[in-house]
Amino acid sequence: MLLVQQELLAALALALDGLSPGSSSKAAFESPKVAAHGDLAVTAAMQLAKPLKLNPRQVAESLRAALLATAAFQQWVDAVEIAGPGFLNLRLKPAAKQQIVREVLAAGASFGSQAANGQRVLVEFVSANPTGPLHVGHGRQAALGDAICNLFETQGWSVHREFYYNDAGVQIGTLASSTQSRAKGLKPGDAAWPEAAYNGDYIQDIAQDFLAGKSVASDDRSFTASGQVDDLDGMREFAVAYLRREQDLDLRAFDVRFDQYYLESSLYTSGRVEQAVQTLQAAGKTYEQDGALWLKSTDYGDDKDRVMRKSDGSFTYFVPDVAYHLTKWERGFNKVINIQGTDHHGTIARVRAGLQAASEHLKLGIPQGYPDYVLHTMVRVMRGGEEVKISKRAGSYVTLRDLIEWTSKDAVRFFLLSRKPDTEYVFDIDLALAQNNDNPVYYVQYAHARICSVLQREGLLVDGKASSGELQSVDLSALDTAPAQTLMLQLARYPAMLTSAAQDFAPHDVTFYLRELAAAYHSYYDAERILVDDVAVKRARLALVAATAQVLHNGLAVLGVSAPLSM
Q: Averaged over 65-87, what is the pLDDT?
A: 95
Closest CA to 442 of 301, 561, 353: 561
For residue 306, the cross-strand partners are: 295
- Which pLDDT belongs to residue 395? 65
Long-range contacts for 210-218 (Cβ within 8 Å, ≥24 apart)? 210/179, 210/183, 210/234, 210/235, 210/238, 210/239, 211/183, 216/241, 216/242, 216/245, 217/241, 217/245, 218/244, 218/245, 218/247, 218/248
What backbone torsions phi and psi does residue 2 show, to the nearest 5 degrees?
Answer: -65, -40
**3 state SS of 307:** strand
Flag whether pLDDT at 393 surpasses 70. no
Per-residue confidence band for 285, with pLDDT thresholds at 50, 70 and 90: very high
pLDDT in tens, 302-316: 999 999 999 999 999
519 C-beta neighbours (distance < 10 Å), count: 17
- Which pLDDT belongs to residue 219? 76
pLDDT in tens, 343-373: 999 899 999 999 999 999 999 999 999 999 9
Cα separation, 357 vs 362, whole angstroms:
9
Cα separation, 226 vs 241, whole angstroms:
14
> Of the given ranges (114-118, 212-216, 313-317, 545-549), which has the lowest mean pLDDT?
313-317
Q: What is the mean pLDDT of the chain?
A: 94
pLDDT in tens, 138-152: 999 999 999 999 999
Q: Averaged over 95-114, what is the pLDDT?
A: 95
- Which pLDDT belongs to residue 331? 97
Kindly write down the DSSP assignment for every residue of 40-86, as one continuous string. EEE-HHHHHHHHHTS-HHHHHHHHHHHHHTSHHHHHHEEEEEEETTT
- Which pLDDT belongs to residue 540? 97
Per-residue confidence band for 467, with pLDDT thresholds at 50, 70 and 90: low
Cα separation, 544 vs 460, whole angstroms:
13
- Which pLDDT belongs to residue 299? 96
User: 490 with 555: CB under 8 angstroms?
Assistant: no
- Which pLDDT belongs to residue 129? 87
Cα separation, 17 vs 173, whole angstroms:
69
- Report the length, in residues, of the chain: 567
Flag whether pLDDT at 404 surpasses 80. yes
Q: Averaged over 527-556, what is the pLDDT?
A: 97
Q: Averaged over 202-219, what is the pLDDT?
A: 94
> Is the previous residue joined to 507 through a cis bond, with omega within 30 degrees of 0?
no
pLDDT in tens, 243-255: 999 999 999 999 9
**3 state SS of 166:** coil
Kindly write down the DSSP assignment for every residue of 492-543, as one continuous string. HHHHHHHHHHHHTT-THHHHHHHHHHHHHHHHHHHHS-SS-S-HHHHHHHHH
What backbone torsions phi and psi does residue 226 show, to the nearest 5 degrees?
Answer: -80, -25
Half-sphere exposure of 373 (CA within 13 A, CB side): 18
In the chain, what are the helix, strand and coil shares in percent, each to the nearest 5?
Answer: 55, 15, 35
Flag whether pLDDT at 280 surpasses 70. yes
Cα separation, 364 vs 385, whole angstroms:
54
- Which pLDDT belongs to residue 464? 65
CA separation (Å) from 424 to 65, 312, 380, 385, 419?
A: 51, 38, 8, 17, 8
**3 state SS of 330:** helix
- Which pLDDT belongs to residue 12? 97
DSSP state letter for 253: H
Cα separation, 560 vs 526, whole angstroms:
29
- Which pLDDT belongs to residue 43? 94
CA separation (Å) from 174 to 242, 409, 463?
A: 15, 32, 52
Per-residue confidence band for 130, with pLDDT thresholds at 50, 70 and 90: confident
- Which pLDDT belongs to residue 394? 62
What backbone torsions phi and psi does residue 382 show, to the nearest 5 degrees?
Answer: -115, 145
Half-sphere exposure of 345 (CA within 13 A, CB side): 6
Which of the two residues, 467 and 117, has the higher pLDDT score?
A: 117
User: 52 with 21: CB under 8 angstroms?
Assistant: no
pLDDT in tens, 484-498: 999 999 999 999 999
pLDDT above 70 covers what percent of the chain? Answer: 98
Q: Averaged over 39-68, what is the pLDDT?
A: 94
Amino acid making up residue 403: L
- Which pLDDT belongs to residue 171? 87
Flag whether pLDDT at 231 surpasses 70. yes
Helix (H), strand (E) at residue 558: helix 535-559
- Which pLDDT belongs to residue 220? 75
